[in-house]
Structure 1
Amino acid sequence: MNAGLDLPEIGDRHAFNLARWKEICEDPQLAKVGGRVESDAHGHILMSPPPGFSHSSRQSAILLLLSKKKGGRALAECPVSTSGGVRGVDVVWLSDLRAESALKENILLTSPEICVEVLSPGNTRAEMEEKRALLFEAGAGEVWFCDTKGRMFFFLKNQPDEAVEKSELCPDFPAVVE
């Protein structure tokens, strides 16, 4: 980088994400837009259209199933600060203990223990692999994917690139969600 360029550096990732997220949430024009809004590592806005019916249906079913797990709570559309910006997660399970330490100004600075992405036809493998890596890096214990047929794929922090047969945190979670 040319030493003569006067460009800001991102020193504290979470402070940057918090400040940028506040700007995004307070933008009256963005408040009028439907769909998901996230940010990338540079603070640029990423937008996705609202999910379809089957996506919403599976997201709700997963939320209801996870809400039965004791010691925490299940949430939908949860913003998480990552090294790749503020990313929205379709469904999370967050322990009460982690909620106390991770929440700051409406964003989680540490990923919930379980992060679930309900895949849409427009998602790519590279996009989902990147998101899974970002969530593990931010502290997730497990990242789950629900594909467009409702099949569940469970990834564990100690084995992040290879799906396993079942969750360690919710071993009775079904392999297929309708």
Structure 2
Amino acid sequence: MHVEFTVTREHVRRILLLVAAATAVVITFSGCTESSGKKEQKRTLGGYDQLVAKQPSETMTYSPTRNTANFWIKTWNKPGKLSYVYLQNGDGDLLGYYIFKGLPVPYCVSLTPPDQGQGNNEYGVVRKAPAVDGVYYGEGDCSRYFGIDATTGAYIEYTTGLGINVLLYDQPLPNDPNVKPLGRSRVDKNGKVVTN
């Protein structure tokens, strides 16, 4: 079956009129949207300014958050400090524990800035600052951790999530015979760290 279609001047004229009408509609609505967006932004910011004027934020003379952050620094600012990592299931049962030299480190930690090479500070690129422990957080898989076994120096890696929670301590929990060592180090019945 062969069908022929002839395009006439009238067809071209109608198509051009439809395109012109559609363009006019798009331009009209994009102008309204931008105008509405700007109005909404001004209203929101104006409301915020009014709230701040009527209810200014309080200031603190003591920061419990900074105190706890400093406690964290004092706790872990010791070479060779041991950490005790207990894995817990969704029901609250302890599955086992690892003992590390230092803290376990998530895969989302980097020694170099994550934005290094993606711009030049000469051109106004704002770089993320390192955390207080001298590393950068946030790039990569934060559910996978690795660390150094306390007695053997072996590499250990574990994953969190999917119902597995981590309890991290700087001292062992009271000895529980049902909690098994998962790594090569364990706490003996006298509370001493020994090779498993």
| TM-score of the pair, normalised by structure 2 | 0.21
**Structure 1 or 2: larger strand share?**
1
**Which structure: larger Rg?**
2
| TM-score of the pair, normalised by structure 1 | 0.22
